Amino acid sequence: MHVVREYTDAELARMERSISTDSMLEEAGAHRTIPEAETPAGPSPMPAGGAGYTAHTHDVEVTVDADSSTSSSHLLKKFAHIPLRVRGRAEAWEVPRDQIRMDVELGRGTGGVVHKAKWRGLECAAKLLSASSQVSVEYHDMINEITVISHLRHPNLVLFLGACTVDEPLLILSEFMAGGSLEEHYNKMRIRLGKPFKPPRQQLYRWMLDLSRAVCFLHSCTNPIMHRDLKPSNLLLSEHEHLKVSDFGLCKTMQKVKEDGTPYSMTGCTGTKRYMAPEVVLSKPDYDHKVDVYSMAMIFWYMTQGERPFEQVEPQLISMLASTRGLRPDVKAIHWTAVEDLVERMWDSDSHLRPECTEILAMLKALEQEAVFSDTAAGSEYHCNVKCQCAVM
């Protein structure tokens, strides 16, 4: 069981000062070692040229390699022992609770509840942990989410605004996505039309491109990041229907997966299993970022058809048949030859044969004129004003 250490105010203050100094050193590309020692707190002068750097303080040990100043893996390792509330203050994302005004509830799940909220005059979404136990799965997923998203910035990732970690309940503040989730959008359109919603190619193309850009960014980090839980309910739409990826509770760096030495296994998540790569379903220990590529293929199919893959079949059965017998949805139902060929490669049972996100992005960009011309020729006048209230869960 994980034991949470209690720190004195003096220790917390020293840690906060240490993080602030480390952040400046990171930008300078310096090498810094802080061993336990009976020496005065504070950094020694940094040598010219970034060849190496040594400083001392009490109770904190940090090592930074000169050639890995942008590596997310060493940042996580360096700050792993430092309380999150200290990091929040030092990295300037800890938000005072009295600045947040809760509004209507937007959604609820087993791990928490999401409210629409206002913070400094800004409409946002507040995700609160329902369970207070610091050994719960939900607690550690939320801690993991804060650790990952507090350092990520991209137009197709839901923007992290801050968090409340000093007192309970744990809270994550993010931008409010007025369009709701992609899944909710499709469901509302299905009710409105009386049949599965199939958007025109131009809209479909924009959503596929938005998702590909987000995942390409994650996979291209110095230490690649796997989302591991891509599905329509985790893709949110802005007021103008731009798609952004959310929910990073199960996100993990490739380096962290290797260090853990244990496969990730998911149980009881029926909404996820339809989009889960075979190697994850089978709990193989050596899966990599290509699990996200498989999930993207299933989402692309969902986008074109307006319904979940094998919607009438129980998710557990579908995931096992897809993993052990190569079962896949009818790719020809997409009715777009270039996308059909791409999707078939993306959901290949052999992860090594799946394309990298950079290749997916390049192939999609080459289809822009085809998407625009197709809608123009068909005289499409699609426009959706359906609004729904949703946030990250």
The residues annotated as belonging to the active site are 229
How far apart (Å, rounded) are the C-alpha atoms in residues 122 and 267? 37
Other CB atoms closer than 10 Å to residue 229's CB: what's the count? 26
b/e burial code for range 198-224 (CB count within 10 A of at least 16 → b): bbbbbbbbbbbbbbbbbbbbbbebebb
DSSP string, 318-371: HHHHHHHS-----GGGG--HHHHHHHHHHT-SSGGGSPPHHHHHHHHHTTHHHH
Phi, psi of 47 (to 5 degrees): -70, 155
Cβ-in-10-Å burial (0-12, 13-18, 19+) of 316 comes to middle
How far out from the chain centre does Cα 309 lie? 22
Cα separations (Å) of 267 from 105, 271, 276?
27, 11, 11
List of residues 6+ apart from 366 with CB closer than 8 A: none
Element (H, E) at 113: strand 112-119
DSSP string, 185-217: HHHHHHHHHTS-----HHHHHHHHHHHHHHHHH
Q: Quick one: DSSP state of residue 78? A: H
Contact 97, 167 (CB under 8 A): yes
Q: What six digits make up the tokens of 119?
A: 């913070």
How far apart (Å, rounded) are the C-alpha atoms in residues 223 and 34? 23
How far apart (Å, rounded) are the C-alpha atoms in residues 29 and 49? 9
Residue type present at position 256: K
List of residues 6+ apart from 196 with CB closer than 8 A: 186, 190, 305, 306, 307
Q: What six digits make up the tokens of 271?
A: 């909404």
Our CA dihedral for 270, 271, 275, 279, rounded to 10 degrees, sits at: -40
